[in-house]
Amino acid sequence: MLDHIGLAVSDISRARAFYDQALRPLGYSLIMETGPDVTHSGGTWLGYGPHGKPVLWVGDNIPPGRGYHVALEAESREMVRAFHAAALAAGGTDNGAPGVREHYSPNYYAAFVFDPDGINLEAVCYAPE
């Protein structure tokens, strides 16, 4: 089981604006911010999560890479739709509209967006309609 994940971004201010808005419908908020004095590598890291625990970190102290994919669980299909809409409004790029992906499982309802650095974010819900 994962405890948290970190993703490199090119512009921490742009990332903050995107993730603040895109993750809100999933119940995620900015929990913690660490600066260069804490990371010892220069740069800033932002920790997002639900229930007061940062599980998704974005930071600007290393170059962003390609191939990142992060799927965040949503409690309802409405949350998946709200995530998709919020992420697009925050400057994300559509990578798959909300819908059932039966090739994964009969109730796999998901939406995909690319963040401003090309990170593939997904919100997924397994609950039936």
* Residue whose token pair is 């819908």: 99
20: amino acid identity, one letter: D
Indicate the number of domains in the chain. Answer: 1
Query: What range defines the domain where residue 49 resides?
Result: 5-61+68-125
- Residues 75, 126: Cα–Cα separation, whole Å: 8
What's the pLDDT tens digit per position in 44-74? 999 999 999 999 999 998 888 778 999 999 9
**b or e along 71-104 (b: 16 or more beta carbons within 10 Å of the residue's beta carbon)?**
ebebeebebbbbbbebbbebebeebeebeebeee
Give how far the C-alpha of residue 128 lies from the chain's centroid of Cα atoms, to the nearest Å.
23
Beta bridge partners of 113: 94, 121
pLDDT tens per residue across span 113-126:
999 999 999 999 99
The model carries a pTM of 0.91
Predicted local distance difference test score (pLDDT) of residue 63: 83
28 closest CA partner among 58, 10, 44, 51: 51
CATH of the domain at 28: 3.10.180.10
